[in-house]
Structure 1
Amino acid sequence: MKSIHYATLLLCIPLFYACNHSNQAVSKKTGNDTIPVKIMKLNQENTNAAIAVSGQFTTDDEVMLSFKTGGIINSLLVKEGDAVKKGQLLATLNLTEINAQVQQAQLSYEKAKRDYQRTKNLYTDSVATLEQLQNSKTSLQVAGQQLNLVAFNRKYSEIHAPENGFILRKLADAGQQVSSGTAVLQVNGAQSGKWQLKVGISDREWAILKLNDHATIETTAVPGQMLDGVVSRKSEGVDAATGTFTAYITLTGNKPKAIAAGMFGKATLHPSRTTEHKGTWQIPYEALLDGDGNSGFVFITNDNRTAHKVKVTVAGIEKNTVTISDGLQDAGALIISGSAYLTDHSAISIH
């Protein structure tokens, strides 16, 4: 009788463990339905707030001047900082070589002219053929174009000031041999008062600023005086040297004479108050999913229990953050950790 009881007990043990394992699996599955995440409260930034920047004064007509032909510099007639007038002679090459080329072209042209006239007379007397006359005329035209070419090169073996302005830099010296197109002088048209302040701005600032936004500028060259300006231009790409975008602030109103190229200045930019200037949000780079151009997706939560996937508009990307300009207006909190395991309407737990 005891052996029957023992046998029955042994048969029940596997069934007991099977039921217990099933209960544990159900319990484990129920517990893992909620995904642990970390969240961040969202604070909308005011894009109408003033932006402080700094940079250097320049003009919109800075230009590098060079010779059309290569050769040895004969003379440099100006120094850095000199004021120049439009058309003023600034530098010359040694003209021995180019003058020889001009003379050679002139002699070739004169010979071609004589040959054409001789062939024309022979053609009139029915001695030369029409083909010989046409070939002679073509040779004359080629020689004339060659003369025009070397005369043009002779003209641009001298450098003249393109506008009233100042010499910013002297990049070569008399006696130096330079090749065609090598920069010799850098000049600008500062005498016309076209001053600009060139400043670096971040991605977020680039997205906020619009052309003609007002700016106030100050510089130690005119202490105590605030200069007015407007944003006249924004770069369409990042400066590889600085890693920032570039904006140009053109001075308006009275322009002081004490400003010089390269001088340091500070500016306060005032973004215009238009409907385009909505608030923005700064979020961690890791929170953005499936980024494509100026759009992407993030997970948010409004009740700390359910995750929702929403589409957002990207206004700029910086080193560790992303600027969002649209899509988070109705978000209570942003999910910044655990997003990779989420789907829309996933249950979450805050950690």
Structure 2
Amino acid sequence: MNKKILYFCSLFISVIMLSGCGSKGDSEKSTSKNYPVKILELKNENNPVSLEYEGITGGSEVRKLSFKSSGKVSKICVSKGQEIKKGDTLVELDKSDLNFAMEASKAQMDSASAQYDKAVNGAQQEDISKADIAVKNAQDNYNYYKDLYDKNVKLYNSGAISKQDLNSCKLQLDSTVSALNAAKQSLQQLQNGSRSEDKQALSAQVNAAKADYDSKANLVQDGTLAADSDGYVVDILCKEGEMQPAGNPVILVRSKNQVVTIGLSSDDVKKVKIGAKAQVKVNNNKVDGEISNIVQMSDKTSGTYSAEIKLLKPVDNKTFYVGDTVKTYISMGNKNGIWIPISSILNDGEDYVYVSENGRAVRKNVTLGATDEGKVSAEGLKSGDKLIIEGMKNIKAGYSLKAK
């Protein structure tokens, strides 16, 4: 019996010793080594919330300018990259043919206007006197041929002249009757003035002639292509002496209004309104801007909605290159809560961070929210938590920590 008791006691002591050796090996990882980390004590912060997008500078500000009529380029007055002011001459066409067409149109307009003025103001006394004389002359002519015809009728009845001679005299009499009636009608029209429908017809002719002249005059004026706003010459697409078709671009310009184009997602486009404040990062400098335009139809390729941010304080154009990629931040107000550095977040299918509690690493899963540049709002943490922001990739839950 004593031998059995001694055997079980020896076995029990051996198990305890083996168990003690195993636990000592596992704990050495977490207790024998202190892992260096950097800690940030969290607190509630009230940070701005923004939507972050990449944008393209100056996309919609570049415009193509062209002539309304075809012609030969006679002079190019600017150079590529030149700053221009509103009203500056850019390109000129040879206007010889345009001027000829305008002068011919003006002559037609002046003629139509004179006819209308005559109808409205009535005839001059001199014109009436001339018409009255014409009536008297026509009357005398008629009287002469009437008397001659009457005499020829008597001669025909007596057989002295033929029927052909009588008919010839009758034709001469009928001609004088027509001439006398026309002269009387002209005199009466001059005395009574033009009818209202005649005046309306002449007025319509004047308006048509004036519209044609204005069109020709505009073409002459358009033969000089001028800047319609302040800006810069992006490119020149023509050469002196070349023929340019109407509507063909001859020069590219951009205004001094500096814009950045972004593509909003289907969710964010519902949040962003015209006039919303924004910031654009140009050459590491933040410039204030605002949303100036949002296209209501999505792009067929990307599915995004194009929006423009206008810079409120233009930057030096020497550093603002069209087509450059920049960072943009659209303000969505402020959010109060726990904000952590984005760089402190780890992910293994879930977003999580490490905090230090009693000198040891503790894992905490987090739910991420709004961002503000390098920070993000996070749920699952509280004020006073000691967030590990450096060295977290080298540790696991339970590791002993040494705070820098």
Shorter-chain TM-score bucket reads 0.5 to 0.7
Higher helix share: 2
Structure 1 counterpart of 2:216, from 150, 155, 169 = 150
Aligned AA for 2:306?
T
- 3-state secondary structure, aligned to 2:73: strand
Structure 1 counterpart of 2:123, from 118, 121, 124 = 121
Partners of 2:118 and 2:292 in 1: CA distance: 64
Deviation for aligned residue 1:90: 0.9
Partner of 1:181: 247
Q: Which has the higher contact order (CA 8 A, sep 6+)?
A: 2
Deviation for aligned residue 1:270: 4.5
Partners of 2:251 and 2:216 in 1: CA distance: 23
Deviation for aligned residue 1:218: 2.1
State yes or no: 1:72 paired with 2:138: no
Partner of 1:172: 238
Partner of 1:197: 260
Structure 1 counterpart of 2:298, from 238, 245, 250 = 238
Partner of 1:216: 279
Partner of 2:307: 247
- RMSD over equivalenced CA pairs, Å: 3.4
Alignment map for 1:1-351 (pairs within 5 Å): 50-58=50-58, 62-113=62-113, 115=115, 120-121=122-123, 125=128, 127=187, 128=189, 130-131=194-195, 134=199, 135=201, 138-190=204-256, 194-220=257-283, 224-240=284-300, 242-253=302-313, 255-273=315-333
Partners of 2:323 and 2:103 in 1: CA distance: 48
Q: Which has the larger radius of gyration?
A: 2
Deviation for aligned residue 1:208: 4.0
Partners of 2:255 and 2:74 in 1: CA distance: 25
Deviation for aligned residue 1:161: 0.6
Partners of 1:90 and 1:174 in 2: CA distance: 12
User: Residue by residue, what CA displacement relative to the aligned partner does 1:225-266 show, whole Å, maximum 9, x if unpaired?
Assistant: 222333333221122454422222222356344343514142
Aligned AA for 1:155?
Q
- 3-state secondary structure, aligned to 1:230: strand
User: Residue by residue, what CA displacement relative to the aligned partner does 1:138-192 show, whole Å, maximum 9, x if unpaired?
Assistant: 54444333222211221122211111111123333333333333332232221xx
Unaligned 5+ segments in structure 1 are 1-47, 276-351
Aligned AA for 1:93?
L
Unaligned 5+ segments in structure 2 are 1-47, 129-185, 336-404
**Normalised TM-score (structure 2):** 0.47
Aligned AA for 2:109?
Y
Percentage of matched positions with identical amino acids = 18
Change (3 A) 1:158 1:242: farther
Aligned AA for 1:80?
K
Aligned AA for 2:332?
S
Partners of 1:105 and 1:55 in 2: CA distance: 52
- 3-state secondary structure, aligned to 2:296: coil
- 3-state secondary structure, aligned to 2:90: strand
**Normalised TM-score (structure 1):** 0.53
Partners of 1:96 and 1:186 in 2: CA distance: 26
- 3-state secondary structure, aligned to 1:56: strand
Aligned length: 222
Change (3 A) 1:66 1:136: same
Change (3 A) 1:107 1:54: same
